[in-house]
Amino acid sequence: MRKNSFKLYKDKDASLEYLNDKTISILGYGSQGRAQALNLRDSGLEVIIGLPRNNKDRKAALKDGFIVYTPEKAVKIGDIISVLAPDHKHQELYEKSIHNNLIPGKSLVFAHAYSIHFKLIKPPEYTDVILVAPHGPGEMVRKLFLEGKGVTSFIAMEHDYSGKALDKALAYARGIGSTKAGAISTTFKDEAIGDLFGEQAVLCGGLSELLSTGFKTLVKSGLSPENAYLECVHQIDLIVELIKKFGIAGMFDKISQTAEFGSYISGKKVINEKMMKNILSKIKNGDFAKTWMRESKIGMRNYKKIKRYWKNNLLQKTWERLHKILT
C-alpha cells in the first residue's frame, strides 16, 4: 500500500489572480460545461464557449449570455482550454480543433483524466495539462455554487510547462467553487483508474445491478413488483444517508440486529471480489478504453441497446408508477 499523500486545498490556498488576465475557453456546454462556465464567469473570469456550428447546446449558451465560437476559434482565442466534451469525443476534437491551435503558454484543463491517461490525446510538452475533476454532476456544481458552497474535486498536473500549473489548477478549482468544499490532489493515473472503477464496479454499475437483481429475484419468487421495489430500491437513500453520516459500522448500529446479522452473513456472498479485480485489471490495462472507443466508432450500437433495456424494464416501469405517490 502506498503511503498516504492526501492533500486538501481550500479557498485560502487558491488565488484567482492566476486566471485574472486569461480567457477561458470551455469546449462543450453539457452537464459540466454549462455549470463550470457560469461559475467561472460569476467568479469574475473571462469565459467563452466553443461548440461545433450545428450543435444543439449553442442555443443554451447564447441564452446564458456567452459568446459562442467554433471549437477551433475558441482554442485560438483562449489561454485556458477546458475540454468538457464527452470523453469518447476528446480524441477527434483534439485532432480536428485543438492540436493545430495550441501554442506555448496555453493550458489544457480536463474534468476527467481518461483521455490523457489512456493516451488518446498527447498534448505537446509546451502546454500545461491540468485536471480539475468535480465529484458530482454539473447540476450539483452549479447549485452548490449558487448556495455559496461547492463540490469537492480532484486536481492534478500532467505537464507543468509554465511552472504555475498548480496555481492555475487551484485558481480554476476556486473559480468553479470547488475550493469552498476542498480540492484534493491526485495524479492523472489515479483519477482515471479510480474514477472508472468506482463508477463501474461500485457507484453506478455495481449499485444498479445490485438493486435490479435484488428486485428481479423477489419478483420471480412471487412478490409484486411494488413490494419488491419497496424492499430493494426505495430505501436506498436512507441507508446511504446513514453511511455518509456514521460510516458503514455506524449504519449497522442504526438498523435492527436482525438486519445487521443477516447483512454480515449474506453481503459477502453477493459481492464477488474476484470479478471486481478483473474489472480493475481491464481498466488498468486499457481494455475498457479500447472497448469504449470501438463502441463510439460503431455508432454506440450496444450502448443504445442497453440504454433502451434500462429505460423499459419492469423496475423502471414500477418506479414510474410509484415515485409520484411515495415520498
Catalytic center residues: 112
CB 81 within 8 A of CB 25: yes
Name the residue nearer to ligand NAP (CB basis): 131 or 166. 131
Tell me the closest approach of the beta carbon of residue 131 to ligand NAP, in angstroms. Answer: 10
Nearest to 41, CA basis, from 146, 147, 120, 123: 146
Nearer residue to ligand NAP within complex by CB, 84 or 130: 84
Q: Look-up: residue for cell 484567482? A: 16
- Which regions of 73-127 does DSSP assign to beta strands (E)? 80-83, 107-110
| Residue with Cβ nearer ligand NAP (162 or 296) | 296
CB of 31: closest distance to ligand NAP in angstroms?
4
Sheet holding 23-27, edge to edge: 8-9, 183-185, 153-159, 128-134, 107-110, 80-83, 23-27, 46-50, 68-69
Cβ proximity to ligand NAP: between 138 and 175 the closer is 138
Residues lying near ligand NAP in the complex (CB under 6 A): 27-33, 50-52, 55-57, 71, 84-87, 89, 93, 111-112, 133-134, 137-138
CA separation (Å) from 211 to 80, 215, 234?
42, 6, 10
- Residue of closest CB approach to ligand NAP: 30
Residue 18 CB, shortest distance to ligand NAP, in Å, is 22
Q: How far is CA 22 from CA 18, 42, 92, 167, in A?
A: 8, 15, 26, 13
Q: Which amino acid is at 156?
A: A
Rounded CA-CA distance 35/144 in Å is 10
What minimum distance in Å lies between the beta carbon of 289 and ligand NAP?
A: 13
